[in-house]
Amino acid sequence: MVPLVLILCTGNSCRSHMAEGILRAAAGDALRIASAGSKPAGYVHPLAIRALAEIGIDLSAHRSKHLSECLSESVETVITVCGNADQACPMFPGQVNRHHWGFDVF
């Protein structure tokens, strides 16, 4: 089974989708990549979609989703990209790795 990497942010509207797109493009078929949020915004920010389109990554079909949608998945690695998500992140069954790569918003 291909390992699942879950990228978490609070709103799942920008940073987590950008990280998901870039990691998916880099990993190819070696990993499954998903993103979610602890308090989803309900949309993917248009500027995130546009920024990644500039480097050839299409986020136009992405949607903002709650991390509870991933609780039944076998998540091997969780990467949080904001401090709030890092504090709210649960342990997933079978989770082996957890990393925090904070990207502050200015």
Q: Would you name the residues annotated as active-site residues?
A: 9, 82, 89
Q: State the number of CA atoms in the 13 A half-sphere of 88 facing the CB.
A: 18
Give the dihedral sign, CA 20/21/26/32.
positive
Helix (H, G, I), strand (E, B) or coil at 4: strand
Q: Are 94 and 71 in contact (CB under 8 A)?
A: no
